[in-house]
Amino acid sequence: MILRDPVHGLVAFEGERERVVQALVGTGELQRLRRVRQLGLASLVFPGAEHSRFAHAIGTGYVMGRLLDRMGQVEHALPAEQRLDAEARIDALAAALLHDLGHGPFSHLYEDVLPGALKHEDWTEQLIADQDGEIHRALEGLGRGTAARVAELVRGRHRLGYLGHAVSGTLDVDRCDYLLRDSLMTGVRYGVYDLDWLLRALSFGEVREEGGAARFVLAIEGRKGLPPIEGFFLARHFMYQQVYHHKAVRAAEALVRGIFARAAELLQDGSSSLDPAPVALTRAARGGVVTPSEYRMLDDAALTSCFAAWQHGSDPLLADLCRRFMSRALPKTLPLPDHQEQEPVWRECHARASEIARVNGYRPDLYVWLDVPRDVPYAEPQGAGSSALWVSLRHRPMARLGDVSFLLRELRNKRTVRPRLVFPAELREQIVAAVEPLVS
């Protein structure tokens, strides 16, 4: 199987890999990801960001294939029982393809807003475990027990610990693909890093942590591997700053949060004004159990069509919010001091903005938001069994990446925050005047 990809060029899955990909790619669960955008609402700000989680899944599978090839080149450093076998290779490729299987509409918004909604990781596990689903049958067709192993691997757990970290860890195949893909499709260059050299700089090493048994990890090989791994984490940091946490993207997300919140209220009241509404949305809003088959019907297109209909519905609040979304009348934002110790100031600004909204006839909980996106540019977990990255230095003990790289040492486990107020554009002058004394 050979595909053309805008990021990786010719993407080839041949031999055993072709059997795995062909078994999974035609399932309804994986095809659904064609209708879920990789970047949620970012296309409202970056017009080219229309790429899907399906394309990302294919790219992640390709990167996993390249990583497996590299592991095979350096596996002489491992004892026989720690080396990849045919089963582990199938598990790894399948997990890479299916890691985003449970993502809901508009990225994380669906799961964040609805009361009691499952996280996408839980939905991925449920979809894989669903014996009535196509994906479960396809996985079991690759070998008995494959579905259970793949579900565990998507969570980062596997009998080969280093393989779990390659699927879900500090440096994993998911991030390796999405940074390059999101950078290309948004038209920015912040996410570009040297994937070829990064893969070439990986090797296996043995780590002995205090109080823990020895284990084998995939490590950065020597100092030649520092520039690509530093570039990887800088790319991730810049993409969060310039794309994922872009003020207009976050404003659009706040607007959709308001839509979901109001829709949930109406559904909980048994309102008939939400016709159409997906069964999964209705059931989740009312605290019911959503089945995998119902969840599979949720995607960006289904909810966007609901928004288009609801803008003409009988509920004035929901109609107004949906009209704003459909016409891209996004809220405005106001940056707040970016120091965590100034959180009381953030709350006071939010209170003042909310009161102005209330006086002007708006429901503050649906129209005014305190948005505080957070990120850790380079997280270095501690403790035995962690997914921390290691550097293999000749004639020296293995060392944590943050202890070797001056750059990443400065970024290690440091949290960044970018607080802002989000509010309707027509209230901008009043809100700026009210909060300016607090932030100037």
Contact 201, 225 (CB under 8 A): yes
Per-residue pLDDT at 389 exceeds 70: yes
3-state DSSP assignment of residue 37: strand
d(CA 119, CA 57): 18
pLDDT per residue over 152-180, tens digit each?
Answer: 999 989 999 899 999 988 899 999 999 99
**What structural domains does the chain harbor?**
2-245+385-414 (1.10.3210.10), 333-376+415-440 (3.30.70)
Confidence bin at 60 (pLDDT 50/70/90): very high
Mean pLDDT of all residues in 380-396? 78
d(CA 108, CA 110): 6
Q: Residue 368's pLDDT is what?
A: 97
Q: Is the peptide bond before 397 cis (omega within 30 degrees of 0)?
A: no
CA distances from 48 to 11, 42, 365 (A): 22, 9, 32
Residues constituting the chain: 440
d(CA 334, CA 247): 9
Mean pLDDT of all residues in 14-19? 94
Per-residue pLDDT at 427 exceeds 60: yes
Q: Residue 129's pLDDT is what?
A: 93
Output b/e per residue, 101-120; b: 16+ Cβ within 10 A.
Answer: bbbbbbbebbbebbeebbeb
Tokens (6 digits) for 356: 């102005």
**Stretch among 274-288, 299-313, 368-382 having the lowest mean pLDDT:** 274-288
Confidence bin at 273 (pLDDT 50/70/90): low
Nearest Cα to Cα of residue 188 among 58, 300, 330, 45:
45
Q: Residue 383's pLDDT is what?
A: 64
Sorted by sequence, the CB contacts under 8 Å of residue 241 that are 6+ apart come out as 190, 416, 418
Q: Residue 114's pLDDT is what?
A: 72
